[in-house]
Amino acid sequence: MRGRLGPGPAPGPVNVPAHITASAPGSAFIIGEHAVVYGHPAMVCAIEGRVKLHAAPRSDGMLSIRSDLAGPGRFRMKDLKPAGPYRFIRAALALFAAQLPGGVEVSVASDINPAVGLGSSAAVTIAALGAFARLAGGGTDGLHTRALRIVRTIQGRGSGADLAASLTGGLLAYRLPEEMLIAAPDRVRAEMAALPAPPALALGYCGYKMPTAEVLAKIAVARAGNRAFHDALYTRMGAGAAAAIAAARARDWQAFARALNAYQGMMEQLGVSDGTLGRLVRQARGTAGVMAAKISGAGLGDCVLAVGAVPDGFAPVPVASEGLKFHD
């Protein structure tokens, strides 16, 4: 895999536009959950359903937000701490406050259900950073690195794989080198590469969701108590994700499906597959045409991914070929 997006501050304002509209798609993990946080490879997919963010400059030193995600918000440009329902937008704008001292008017619309997840936080972060960078007269180089810093500041953990999918679109192989996080956390550069489009994907929602940061924190506590077990499991999970990536590159979808099914067993060993998720996995695997079924995401709630067909109660999830884009 190769690094495609590097770090770096946004350039200074040049020909500041009157307004900008940007959008980014949601995402779903295919394989590599949990182990990716410790430097192992993963595969993630951008899916249809987008967050669209419109931004225009103001002159009163305020950030004003209207959204269908939460109620209206007004914040001083001098107080953009990442808190509340608009914490990702506030954190993104803080990076460009010097170039936009007069303030910004923001409106947000989303096709992604935030209760289910599907990368809604990543999508709004990418859309916000893209819009604010353009509004400040700069480009989008290093946007993934800046987005990852925001997510890690707010959530404490996170691989950035969902951010990469929202930024680039399509199916991606992704890795965030742990050695770089340790040695140079301010200059981290993720590795990402496009993969061929997968067979038909579908997601089944279990009816509840534990926030990803809470699941990661819970597993981190368990790892601290039995590090040898968890590190050995993560190594196996990383090998499974690498096998799925190699199979996707070769368009060997049978081998791809075997890797996904095996990964579900490792998620069960990790302790993030509860009874409801297990039943959804078994239901999906019993459906004609389904090649693989596993948890998608951190687990302990949220969704099950099915590959090859759409089981009862699941919804098809078309791959979004476009990532971050700007609208006239």
Q: What is the pLDDT, as a whole number, of residue 183?
A: 55
pTM across the whole model: 0.90
Q: What is the pLDDT, as a whole number, of residue 115?
A: 63
Q: Domain 201-316 is classified in which CATH homologous superfamily?
A: GHMP kinase, C-terminal domain (3.30.70.890)
Q: Which residues contact 205 (CB under 8 A, 6 or more apart)?
A: 116, 302, 303
Distance CA 154, CA 188 (A): 17
Mean pLDDT of 127-140: 96
293 against 212, higher pLDDT: 293
Kindly report the backbone phi and psi dihedral angles of residue 150, in degrees, each rounded to the nearest multiple of 5, phi listed first: -60, -50
Work out the pLDDT band at 14, boundaries 50, 70, 90: very low
Are 37 and 158 contacting, i.e. CB atoms less than 8 angstroms apart?
yes
For residue range 80-109, what is the model confidence (pLDDT) as tens digits? 999 999 999 999 999 999 999 999 999 999
Indicate whether 288 pLDDT > 90: yes
Distance CA 110, CA 96 (A): 23
187 against 211, higher pLDDT: 211
For residue range 40-83, what is the model confidence (pLDDT) as tens digits? 999 999 999 999 999 999 999 999 999 987 889 999 999 899 99
CA 240 to chain centre: 20
Domain ranges across the chain: 20-195+321-327, 201-316
Indicate whether 1 pLDDT > 80: no
Q: By C-alpha distance, which of 305, 236, 220 is closest to 271?
A: 220
Give me the architecture of the 20-195+321-327 domain, per CATH: 2-Layer Sandwich (3.30)
Q: By C-alpha distance, which of 311, 14, 291, 30 is closest to 170?
A: 30
Q: Strand pairing partners for 29?
A: 44
Do 20-195+321-327 and 201-316 show the same overall fold? Answer: no
Work out the pLDDT band at 213, boundaries 50, 70, 90: confident
